[in-house]
Chains A and B, each alone.
Chain A
Amino acid sequence: MIPWGAVPLLTCRDLRFSWPRTNATLTIRDFQVGQGERVFLCGPSGSGKSTLLGLIGGVLQPQGGELVVLEQSLSVLTPARRDRFRADFLGFIFQQFNLLPFLDPVENVMLGCAFSPLRKVRAMASGGTVRDEALRLLVALGLDARILERRGTGQLSVGQQQRVAAARALIGGPDLVLADEPTSALDAATRDGFLRLLLAECARHGAGLIFVSHDMALASQFDRVVALETSPSRQMEA
């Protein structure tokens, strides 16, 4: 039941992942995300939300099942190709500590293109230079780029850091943005502003979004809510 066009952005079928040295297994029967769809992914701690993001990012390898992103089955790719795939088509936002302290905020945004010539080309098509596009994104996310350029990354507030991280995830037009509890370190007012801008920018770039969070108050702003259940063998059906 994907109302977002014939080809889904992401398809998981019977995906299995076991953590090393434990018996716990994450199993995902069927999970799809359409092009440009915004999915709210919730579930208790330890239910495997971050692991699922690692699988989609191609950093973790599933033991079985199928994982197709943009019509590309990740399990057939070599580790190097998966890294390249992640660089080209995915954007990540972590809970906190998203930025490299030794780069200034704008350089942190540009880092999103550092390992992908494709993203670089797309960013330049949109903004002229990668730097201009980074500045444009920062402004769109409500940050004054001129102030940022003169500030060290360490001097930014947590809310500002998360916006810089969002700009880095979005630069060069990725097809899917994966956000791992990006608002849990923010206060309510900052959180709402951040989410609004993030959703708007994803929509503008036509990027799909998987947003992991415990905060059910945010769920209403998404196209769909998916819950990961805890069970002896963690299972999930979309």
Chain B
Amino acid sequence: MELVRLTWKSLRQRRAGASLTVFTIALSVFLLLGVERVRTDARQGFASTVAGTDLIVGARSGSVNLLLYSIFHVGEATNNITWKTYEQIAAMPDVAWTVPLSLGDSHRGFRVMGTSRNFFVHYRYGRGQPLDFDRGGPFDDLYDAVVGAEVARRLQYKIGDRIVLAHGLGGPASAMHADKPFRIVGVLAPTGTPVDATVAVSLEAIEAIHVDWRSGVRLPGVGGNAADARHLDLTPKAITACLVGLKSRLSAFAFQRAVNDYPEEPLLAILPGVALGELWHLIGTAENTLRIISAMVVVVGMMGMLTGLLSMLNERRREMAILRAVGASAGTVFALLVVESVVLTTAGAILGYLLLYAVLVLSHQYVLAHFGLSLDVAPALSEWGLLGAVMCLGLVAGCIPGWIAYRRSLVDGLQVRL
């Protein structure tokens, strides 16, 4: 206890240098924990992009490919599923619900997704959260659209605004479906998933805006009028993919086999969790790089502390001789420097942690809204491990000046050398 008191008073005397050291360690701990937090939450957020959906069914391609275009809206589907097939899948006895997805159009850089109202009921993300409406509600009329949080924020849309969809996935020369404008009836709350960057309309609407299109070209004269289109048969001919919920998860593999062996057309059913895992594995090297960099930063912080302790050692030779004279053992001198290092590291770790906590609390909403990343404010178990590792590193670092002072105090005797 005497040692801690002496260390504390000694550090207070050198408070400018000591607080700089503490601050360096705090920043490195902040970075280490911050990277870890973002990493785990990004992974968590990624893995929970689709929750509650047992299978995703699309035309036969690769499982990662299907996941990418159906859920992440990256790339394009190689093929479609016919409406008849979709109806047969939906009618299979194990199936509790299905959500059809029809992709291929865009609106000012955001993907347009044709779906049914089931989407708002059954799509789950995160820990099973359902979609929430920030304003308005699901589409009702043929020309109603629901926009994701990011679409609304970036394009400053509000309920009642009229928008025009573009044919295809954008690009300078895209043809517009200008003859059939949509009205925004709902804005979704942020989810941190690709839904935020999506404009959702009904499948019938997708059908309606394409009635007079053949092979990407508009043919004049066939149901060209927005009002006329309402009277046509708007049953879709094909969809891109569908989400499937089963009555029992136990039948997932049997259902998957049944779909994959579907005789009418080549289909692929994937378990979203497995495909997400495969995809994360592909991009996971980036997270290891991040971890290595943040570990390096901690080592640099420790080096900073070590430099401080070592450069102070000469000035403190006198202090050590005095302590030896009043009866301190060489071991006490060693312990004094180790305690000092541990005190500095502990203070740095606590400050770094508080810094992270403060930043998380303050930035939680902002990060969620802008980056779609839901950062967890509560500490994760792995972070205690990292903090422990930092403390051990501080302890080991303190042993170096401790050992030097120990050797010195044995050689110096009781002479105050300067």
Question: When each residue 267-279 of chain B gets 1 if its CB lies under 8 Å from chain A and 0 otherwise, what string results?
Answer: 0000000000000
The minimal Cβ–Cβ distance linking B292 to chain A, given in whole angstroms, is: 40
- Between A and B, 6 residue pairs with Cβ closer than 8 Å are A50-B414, A97-B318, A102-B13, A102-B14, A114-B327, A116-B327
Q: Which chain B residues border A84 with CB–CB below 8 Å?
A: 327
Q: Let me know if B413 and A54 touch, CB within 8 A.
A: yes
Query: Interface size (B, Cβ < 8 Å)?
Result: 28
- Whole-angstrom CA separation of A112 from B325 in the bound complex: 9
Q: Which chain A residues border B331 with CB–CB below 8 Å?
A: 80
- Whole-angstrom CA separation of A112 from B13 in the bound complex: 20
- Tell yes or no: B411 within 8 A of A by CB: yes
Q: Let me know if A115 and B327 touch, CB within 8 A.
A: yes
Q: Let me know if A53 and B414 touch, CB within 8 A.
A: yes
- Tell yes or no: A193 within 8 A of B by CB: no
A103's closest neighbor in chain B, by CB? B9
Question: When each residue 193-224 of chain A gets 1 if its CB lies under 8 Å from chain B and 0 otherwise, what string results?
Answer: 00000000000000000000000000000000
Measuring CB to CB, which residues of chain B are less than 8 angstroms from any residue of chain A?
2, 6, 9-10, 12-14, 318-319, 321-332, 410-411, 413-416, 418
Instruction: Please name 17 further chain A to chain B contacts, defined as beta carbons within 8 Å, in addition to the given A87-B327, A116-B327, sorted by A numbering.
Output: A20-B411, A53-B413, A54-B414, A59-B324, A59-B414, A60-B413, A83-B329, A83-B330, A86-B325, A88-B327, A92-B326, A96-B416, A97-B416, A98-B322, A100-B319, A100-B322, A180-B414
Question: When each residue 70-93 of chain A gets 1 if its CB lies under 8 Å from chain B and 0 otherwise, what string results?
Answer: 000000000110011011100010
Q: Let me know if A57 and B325 touch, CB within 8 A.
A: yes
Q: Which chain A residues border B322 with CB–CB below 8 Å?
A: 94, 98-100, 111
The minimal Cβ–Cβ distance linking A205 to chain B, given in whole angstroms, is: 17
- Tell yes or no: A25 within 8 A of B by CB: no
A85's closest neighbor in chain B, by CB? B327
Measuring CB to CB, which residues of chain A are less than 8 angstroms from any residue of chain B?
20, 50-51, 53-54, 57, 59-60, 79-80, 83-84, 86-88, 92, 94-103, 111-112, 114-116, 168, 180
**Chain B interface SS verdict (over half):** helix
Q: Which chain A residues border B327 with CB–CB below 8 Å?
A: 83-84, 86-88, 114-116
Q: Which chain A residues border B410 with CB–CB below 8 Å?
A: 59
- Whole-angstrom CA separation of A59 from B411 in the bound complex: 9
Q: Which chain A residues border B6 with CB–CB below 8 Å?
A: 100
- Say whether, besides A80-B331, A102-B13, A103-B9, A87 and B326 are in contact (CB < 8 Å): yes
The minimal Cβ–Cβ distance linking A182 to chain B, given in whole angstroms, is: 12
B3's closest neighbor in chain A, by CB? A114
The minimal Cβ–Cβ distance linking B313 to chain A, given in whole angstroms, is: 16
- Whole-angstrom CA separation of A57 from B14 in the bound complex: 30
Q: Which chain B residues border A60 with CB–CB below 8 Å?
A: 413
- Whole-angstrom CA separation of A102 from B323 in the bound complex: 13
Q: Which chain A residues border B12 with CB–CB below 8 Å?
A: 102
A55's closest neighbor in chain B, by CB? B413
Q: Let me know if B414 and A95 touch, CB within 8 A.
A: no
- Say whether, besides A50-B413, A50-B415, A57-B414, A94 and B2 are in contact (CB < 8 Å): no
- Whole-angstrom CA separation of A123 from B369 in the bound complex: 68
CB within 8 A of A92: which of B10, B14, B319, B414?
A: B414
Q: Which chain A residues border B324 with CB–CB below 8 Å?
A: 59
Q: Which chain A residues border B326 with CB–CB below 8 Å?
A: 87, 92, 111-112, 114-115, 168
A53's closest neighbor in chain B, by CB? B414
Q: Which chain A residues border B325 with CB–CB below 8 Å?
A: 57, 86, 92, 94
CB within 8 A of A79: which of B10, B329, B413?
A: B329
Q: Let me know if A94 and B416 touch, CB within 8 A.
A: yes
- Say whether, besides A102-B9, A114-B2, A83 and B328 are in contact (CB < 8 Å): yes
B10's closest neighbor in chain A, by CB? A102
Q: Which chain B residues border A20 with CB–CB below 8 Å?
A: 411
Of all A-B residue pairs in the complex, the 8 with the closest CB atoms, nearest first, are A87-B327, A54-B413, A115-B327, A102-B13, A92-B325, A83-B329, A102-B9, A59-B413
